[in-house]
Amino acid sequence: MTEQHAWMSDPLVADIPQKKLEFLEQLYYNSQGKNQKDLMTFMMPMMKKAKKENLTFTPGEMSAAIAAIKRNSTQEEQEKIDQLLSKAKKGAD
């Protein structure tokens, strides 16, 4: 991705390494419009990629990135993010 999205310059994510931000950007923007089944199919290789590249995120990094993405998103995008997070939380329980 050559264009840097606004959330990546947000002060909330200033302390997160660029490589992690690029991974999150790819994860977020490539998951747009996918239904739950397609999303799970997409997520599995992405998680393997993160593990292979030794990319781990602290809870603080994840919270900051999510807040920055939401702050730079439309209301509709924010609702989709909330739905995705809700599904992810249910899947983790």
How many structural domains compose the chain? Answer: 1
Establish if 40 belongs to a structural domain: no
Establish if 43 belongs to a structural domain: no
What HEC string does 54-69 produce?
CCCCCHHHHHHHHHHH
Residue 2 has pLDDT above 50, yes or no: no
Helix (H, G, I), strand (E, B) or coil at 74: coil
Report pLDDT for 46: 87
Report the share of the chain in percent with pLDDT over 90.
Answer: 29
Residue 56 has pLDDT above 80, yes or no: yes
- The residue among 34 and 58 whose pLDDT is bigger is 58
**Distances from the Cα of 85 to the Cαs of 18, 44, 53, in angstroms?**
23, 16, 24
Give the tokens for residue 41.
Answer: 């199919």
Establish if 76 belongs to a structural domain: yes
> Containing domain of residue 11, as a range?
1-30+59-93
